[in-house]
Structure 1
Amino acid sequence: MTSSKLTILKEVLTQKKSEIASSMTEDEFFNLFASEQILKDFELSYDELNDGIVEGGSDGGIDAIYSFINGELLEEDTDYTGLKKEIVIDLIIIQSKNTNGFAEEPMNKFISSAQDLLNLSNDLNSLKATYKKELRKKIELFRNAYLRLASKFPKLNISYYYAALASDLHPNVERKVPQLQNVINTQISDSNITFSFIGIEELLSLARKKPVRVKALNIEGTPINTRDGGYIALVSLTNYYDFIAENNKLIKAFFDANVRDYQGKIEVNQAISDSLKNPNNEDFWWLNNGVTITATNATLASQSLTIEDPQIVNGLQSSHELFYHFSTGGNRDDSRKIMVRVIKPIDEKSRLKIIKATNSQTSVPIASLRATDEIHLNIEDYFLSQGLYYDRRKNYYKNLGKPAEQIISIPYLSQIITSIALREPNNSRARPSTLIKNDEEYKRIFSKEYDVDIYAKGVLLQKQVEKALKKYSPELTTSEIGDLKFYVSMFIVADTLKKLAYFPNDIKSIDLALISPEKINQAIVIVKEIYDSLGGTNKVAKSQDFVTSIFGKLGEIIAEHKELLKQQSLASKANNGTN
């Protein structure tokens, strides 16, 4: 039976690799696949998954590492300073081996790296010779968050996973787990440590696990049935909790990606929490605006609403507080109710209008509703004609099995446009997830004045640049590629247009077919030389000095080009005069 399951798993890996990541090696894809399955409940995009992969030499036995705060991925520019209470930090460390067994050596590496990296008093810079830069950056990200939130006494979960094409676990390997736990406990004594071996059966089981798309919601009494197939109903607090949770975990896919990252003002959440903990004479729904859910279909049978593709677009604060209340031991005999509206939009534009309208009277910032703007629908449609999939609805195309390289997220597109159209690659590098949080900056990136073609050309150019950086010799580290990639693209655009100050729509005139591999490599050489001369660090890549130096070099190149054209023109006139 084990051999049959291994055959099935290998076939799954082969097919999936062919469909979504054909350019990866088998080992690289196994790492991505294992990380995706292990982190499935976190609903990460391919960009987010790849960003956490640190495999290679000097990785301390760690192939992928991710930190989460209250279930949200921790990134370089994540702002967690406003969090006040009941904070949960998850540090997840994964080792993925495309081999037929679990071995002792990877476990020994786990133990050794835990001694070094999870010792909060160790200076990470002193470990440069032992651990690669990408890994140290991820550990630093976790450390900074944990230490800055320490005064709020967060709950810390440290989860280790070892994935392999294995079925048997040798006692010599298993006995390493307590050793690892003891090492971590000596470094961070108040953490909850778990270790999981993910073998053939576990990988198959996780791979078969599909996102929940249809679920029943038990209601109270007789609902109001609207003419368009919607419903308005009262739902007990516990039944609503059962609807939004699975195995005591929040179903993140139910929360519309346009607004789900918004946690609201602390005092609002506190009021909801207090109301849940201290029931009085008023029912919960008397004091609460309720929840709005959009769906592709909803059917009523007895006292149960079966909802297809539910997306909670309003009432996120109430939902999160309800989840936390009951998942941490809240009284399940609570008979209070919440009002739920289920709406069946006629099309996607209608659904987006509902999202904006239902949140217009709340404190949800406009930045959280970006993807509801018509420009993103236009970009999505145009990208499809270019063989690209715009991830306006997070993980929509990932769940359809589209190739990872062709799925373009909103943050990634924002970085590209900020670098090549606004000529600010330093901001692209420094603020990967917050570029569009500010209303003014958003309008500079996603303007109705821009031709939609510049977004597609920007993506296609960026992909060419990133491929060239990965093949560059001498080989660049993942960190160096991340530091350089947006600068190289901006350099190529300015050099091609032969302008230092160009307009975003000027990019439309660029013929990508004329940008040769040689031109891209030449740009890499120049940008890398400037990067190294300034220190070649992450800090340099986020600085205005790097931008200024790039433009200085571009100015010289463009001036030389203009002088050459001038000389050619004079020579041509002279030749014409002698004929």
Structure 2
Amino acid sequence: MAVQFQSLYVKAQVHCSINYGIQGSMMDKITGSLLSTFVKQNELSTNELSTQFEHFVNYAITSKVFRGSFELDDVHVGSGGDCAIDGLCIIVNGRLITDEDVLKDVVDNSGYLDADITFVQSKTSSNFDGSSIGSFIHGVKDFLSDAPQLVQNTAIKKMKYVWELIVQMSDHMVNRRPNCRLFYVSTGKWVGDDNLVAIINSGKKEIDQLSLFDAVSVDALGATELQRMYQETKNRLSVTVNFQNRITLPDIEGVAEAYLGVIPFDEYVKLIQDESGTIYSIFDDNVRDFQGGNVVNAKIKNTLDQGKFDLFCVLNNGVTVVAGSLTPAGNRFTIRDYQVVNGCQTSHVLHECRKIEGIEKVYVPMKIIVTDDEDIKTNITLATNSQTEVRTEQLEALSSFQKKLELYYAAEKNTIQLYYERRSQQYNSFGDVKRTQIISIPTQIKSFASMFLNSPHLVSGYYGTIVKRFSGKIFNEDHKYSAYYVSGLAYYRIEQMFRSGELDSGYKKFRFQFMLIVRMLVIGEALDYFNSNAFDKACERLKSILLDDDKSAELFKQAQTVFDNSKLDKTKRQYKAESDTDLVIEAFRTQKASKA
């Protein structure tokens, strides 16, 4: 292995003084304009140009391999000790993995592990440099090795730990081994220079020889490819399928068009997975997350394992797809902005069984409904899921509380406008909405639970698991909306302070502890009932402080002082025990007593 490392690195060094592609260092006007818009939408103006560009490239590429919402810092690893890697994202079963808790929750729920790891290196230079490409590939190989030699920063170490857990869980890789993608991005034009292609091919071969992956790809992208990728992030999910065996349903008020029929397996999987076989995150409107190997799913899988492909369409209740628009061309249907609102379990089992010999003989019962009416979408989802027991906490994403909370956010016409995202990537096509202003459901849950349920130690892991932890304690119909809004506002404020440098980024892993302290500093440790007017007034008092730039900054600085004085071990990797939160609360009590 060491010999392979050295051979690649020497090849890169041979070309270290030669640059290929278009000469010059100026970014072209189109890329510069797109970057400028991106920086504004993500409030990155205080970052250096190189860091802005890293986030820009990471966002464009991650959005290509992952269809859900994510934060820029979830995938950014560029800084000192980054192993020549600027972006790193791990996708497991269609979910972006940010820590080991999310990984374990996703695999436990699914019962299998389909992993993809993506590495990104970005250069603002318009040159494709052989030395930089070689260093990038060398850094990736070092990351994947059993004994890394390069210095690793905190972000790289975190993702390395997650990757090692994935390797240790290889017994769950029942479908395939992981896929590995490398993207080297420059602002120039990639012309396929023979010397650079040789370096890339050599690196690809050496990564492939690690015997970790089903497939390895190394792509060099120029300005044209980057521009196209970024523009695609604004487009809603779209796919074209052959839906020949169908009937058109009668006119329905509020529904543009609707179809019922059966679709061949090979066509259906186009709806639920990408070209690499990774399942899409298109089940956000489904009232049940994938339940893994439960009795129903075991029966579906057993039907397929036994080769009863012709019986599948009569034994299965089928899937319901709700789309924003549909363009028919004969039997070819182009479906855009769609969700599988019923059939999450069926889809995951079909995905899991996609390599069974003869699976192409399966026909999947499918209903496609085209509507923009949110109430109709919700009613369809609830009705089509009524055949199986659905627990109360699994209805939360579709409840009237969620819709009213979205309206409450929209009605808060303050100096800071926030947007509540009930559906993943809901605001992607809204050019005037800054990504930093968007509060997703997972962020809302974590923020509210940390601030008002005294539970920053319980907000790690996958969204579906977190929802279950707080069943009955969050999104209750009689709760005041102000507490949810103010917790979203507090999250926006602390993230803003990390971006501006007002708070050291080293505190970022404690942001939910900070938010709890902020609430206690303004409202106090004891809380009124969440449906009371007194509680509503207390939240309004906190909101008025958070909306004021100076007062908000001072409040978080006070929270930092309290946190610094706590006896919490600041060197731990995770803070998942209630005793960790107790130490933070005790520090608040101590400070309060000292001022009494």
Q: Same fold (TM over 0.5)?
A: yes
Deviation at 1:180, TM superposition (A): 3.3
Deviation at 1:548, TM superposition (A): 2.0
Out of 34, 54, 71, the position equivalent to 1:12 is 34
Measured in 2, the distance between the counterparts of 1:85 and 1:275 equals: 18
Q: Does 1:412 align with 2:446?
A: no
Q: Residues 320 and 368 of structure 2 are in contact (CA less than 8 Å); yes or no, is this contact kept in structure 1?
A: yes
- The aligned runs of 1:235-274 (5 Å cut-off) are 235-242=263-270, 247=275, 252=280, 255-259=283-287, 261-262=289-290, 264-265=292-293, 268-274=296-302
Deviations along 1:162-211, whole A, 9 cap, x unmatched?
Answer: 11112145555443334534554565555532211121222133234333
Deviation at 1:155, TM superposition (A): 0.8
Q: Residues 323 and 337 of structure 2 are in contact (CA less than 8 Å); yes or no, is this contact kept in structure 1?
A: yes
Out of 521, 534, 537, the position equivalent to 2:571 is 537
TM-score by length of 1: 0.82
Out of 369, 388, 391, the position equivalent to 2:421 is 391
**Paired residue secondary structure (1:206):** helix
Deviation at 1:31, TM superposition (A): 2.0
Measured in 2, the distance between the counterparts of 1:37 and 1:375 equals: 33
Out of 226, 229, 236, the position equivalent to 1:206 is 229
* Stretch deviating more after TM superposition (246-255 or 533-542): 246-255
Q: Does 1:525 align with 2:561?
A: yes
Q: Does 1:463 align with 2:476?
A: no
Q: Residues 491 and 523 of structure 1 are in contact (CA less than 8 Å); yes or no, is this contact kept in structure 2?
A: yes
Bigger radius of gyration, 1 or 2? 1
- The aligned runs of 1:68-467 (5 Å cut-off) are 68-76=91-99, 77-78=101-102, 79-82=105-108, 87-120=113-146, 122=147, 130-150=151-171, 152=173, 154-168=176-190, 170-181=193-204, 183-185=206-208, 187-189=210-212, 191-209=214-232, 210-213=235-238, 215=240, 217-220=242-245, 222-225=247-250, 227-228=252-253, 229-242=257-270, 247=275, 252=280, 255-259=283-287, 261-262=289-290, 264-265=292-293, 268-276=296-304, 279-280=307-308, 282-296=310-324, 309-323=337-351, 328=355, 331=358, 334=361, 337-344=363-370, 347-362=373-388, 366-386=392-412, 387-401=417-431, 402-428=433-459, 430-431=460-461, 433-434=463-464, 436-438=466-468, 441-467=470-496
Deviation at 1:254, TM superposition (A): 5.1
Q: Give, as a single letter, the amino acid of the residue that structure 2 aligns with 1:218.
A: F
Deviation at 1:49, TM superposition (A): 4.1
Q: Which of 1 and 2 has higher RCO (CA within 8 Å, sep 6+)? A: 2
After superposition, the Cα gap between the structure-2 partners of 1:346 and 1:286, relative to the gap in structure 1 and judged at 3 Å, is: same
Deviations along 1:319-377, whole A, 9 cap, x unmatched?
Answer: 34445656x4865873x533222335683123112212211323665544421011111
Measured in 1, the distance between the counterparts of 2:43 and 2:357 equals: 44
Q: Residues 83 and 266 of structure 1 are in contact (CA less than 8 Å); yes or no, is this contact kept in structure 2?
A: no
After superposition, the Cα gap between the structure-2 partners of 1:469 and 1:224, relative to the gap in structure 1 and judged at 3 Å, is: closer
Number of matched residues?
Answer: 548
Q: Give, as a single letter, the amino acid of the residue that structure 2 aligns with 1:456.
A: Y
**Paired residue secondary structure (1:54):** coil
* Stretch deviating more after TM superposition (412-421 or 305-314): 305-314
Q: List alignment gaps of at least 5 residues for structure 1.
A: 564-579
Measured in 2, the distance between the counterparts of 1:280 and 1:50 equals: 46
Deviations along 1:230-285, whole A, 9 cap, x unmatched?
Answer: 33333344443455566575783654444585254366445434544655595432
Deviation at 1:499, TM superposition (A): 3.5
Measured in 2, the distance between the counterparts of 1:103 and 1:307 equals: 41
* Stretch deviating more after TM superposition (489-498 or 388-397): 489-498
* Stretch deviating more after TM superposition (246-255 or 546-555): 246-255
Measured in 1, the distance between the counterparts of 2:124 and 2:572 equals: 32
Deviation at 1:141, TM superposition (A): 0.7
Counterpart residue number, 2:582: 548
TM-score by length of 2: 0.80
Measured in 1, the distance between the counterparts of 2:65 and 2:288 equals: 13
Q: Does 1:65 align with 2:65?
A: no
**Paired residue secondary structure (2:261):** strand
Q: Give, as a single letter, the amino acid of the residue that structure 2 aligns with 1:11.
A: S
Deviation at 1:396, TM superposition (A): 0.9
Q: Residues 568 and 584 of structure 2 are in contact (CA less than 8 Å); yes or no, is this contact kept in structure 1?
A: no
Q: Residues 483 and 541 of structure 1 are in contact (CA less than 8 Å); yes or no, is this contact kept in structure 2?
A: no
Measured in 2, the distance between the counterparts of 1:185 and 1:296 equals: 41
Deviation at 1:73, TM superposition (A): 1.8
Counterpart residue number, 2:11: none
Q: Residues 46 and 500 of structure 2 are in contact (CA less than 8 Å); yes or no, is this contact kept in structure 1?
A: no
Q: Does 1:56 align with 2:79?
A: yes
Q: Residues 211 and 253 of structure 1 are in contact (CA less than 8 Å); yes or no, is this contact kept in structure 2?
A: no
Q: Residues 293 and 311 of structure 1 are in contact (CA less than 8 Å); yes or no, is this contact kept in structure 2?
A: yes
**Paired residue secondary structure (1:39):** helix
**Paired residue secondary structure (1:419):** helix
Deviation at 1:518, TM superposition (A): 2.6
Q: Does 1:493 align with 2:519?
A: yes
Q: CA RMSD in A?
A: 3.6
Q: Give, as a single letter, the amino acid of the residue that structure 2 aligns with 1:507.
A: C
Q: Residues 296 and 344 of structure 1 are in contact (CA less than 8 Å); yes or no, is this contact kept in structure 2?
A: yes
Q: Residues 161 and 196 of structure 1 are in contact (CA less than 8 Å); yes or no, is this contact kept in structure 2?
A: yes
Counterpart residue number, 1:568: none
* Stretch deviating more after TM superposition (271-280 or 111-120): 271-280
Measured in 1, the distance between the counterparts of 2:330 and 2:287 equals: 32
After superposition, the Cα gap between the structure-2 partners of 1:156 and 1:437, relative to the gap in structure 1 and judged at 3 Å, is: same
Q: Give, as a single letter, the amino acid of the residue that structure 1 aligns with 2:482.
A: D
Q: Give, as a single letter, the amino acid of the residue that structure 1 aligns with 2:540.
A: K
Q: Give, as a single letter, the amino acid of the residue that structure 2 aligns with 1:372.
A: L
Deviations along 1:52-104, whole A, 9 cap, x unmatched?
Answer: 21111111111111112233222322224547877421111111222212223
Q: Residues 89 and 146 of structure 1 are in contact (CA less than 8 Å); yes or no, is this contact kept in structure 2?
A: no
Deviation at 1:460, TM superposition (A): 1.7
After superposition, the Cα gap between the structure-2 partners of 1:266 and 1:42, relative to the gap in structure 1 and judged at 3 Å, is: farther
Q: Give, as a single letter, the amino acid of the residue that structure 2 aligns with 1:98.
A: T
Q: Does 1:508 align with 2:508?
A: no
Deviation at 1:484, TM superposition (A): 2.0
Q: Residues 94 and 160 of structure 1 are in contact (CA less than 8 Å); yes or no, is this contact kept in structure 2?
A: yes
Measured in 2, the distance between the counterparts of 1:191 and 1:247 equals: 14
Deviations along 1:21-45, whole A, 9 cap, x unmatched?
Answer: 4536333332232223223344455
